[in-house]
Amino acid sequence: MSTETLRPLYILVDDDETNNSISRLLIANTIPDAEVVTFENPQNGLLYIRNDFAVDERTRATLLLNLNMPLMSGWEFLDNLLYMDKEVTDRIDVYILSASIDPSDRKRSGGIEIVKGFLDKPLTHQTILTLRNT
């Protein structure tokens, strides 16, 4: 159990199932010991972070969050995340993973402190390696 929880954890929140599958395959083939959890409904992603991730105090995670989602936008997701304990959010590296070419999305995400970066879809092998090394 103790070794398992230390595997690099990736949380993907995107309503697009295809994106999650492809990203999961890319991550798994780039970082073989990575654990990848995916959520098509952002609400379930929040529940996972609050109920599972939060209680395992040794874990760190990389969160890849889409913005344009019908049930709950990435912005609303971030609002909810900010309500959580800082101890929890400090352990998450938040990246936006979006296909949006609207410059205002990039600008807006730059103004949110817990967002470490804006990644253009698709996620690539190279991007995953770069993220791991930062």
Q: Which residues bind other proteins (CB under 8 A)?
A: 16, 18-19, 21-23, 25-26, 28-30, 41, 43, 67-68, 70-71, 99-102, 120-125
Partners of 41 in the beta sheet? none
CB of residue 83 vs other proteins: minimum separation in angstroms? 16
**At how many degrees (to 10) do helices 17-30 and 125-132 cross?**
60
Cβ neighbours of 69 (radius 10 Å): 19
Least separation in angstroms between CB 5 and other proteins: 25
Sorted by sequence, the CB contacts under 8 Å of residue 22 that are 6+ apart come out as 122, 123
The nearer residue to other proteins, 60 or 132, going by C-beta atoms, is 132
Question: Three-class SS of residue 103?
Answer: helix
Q: Between 110 and 122, whose beta carbon lies closer to other proteins? A: 122
Q: Which is nearer to other proteins, 28 or 34 (CB)?
A: 28
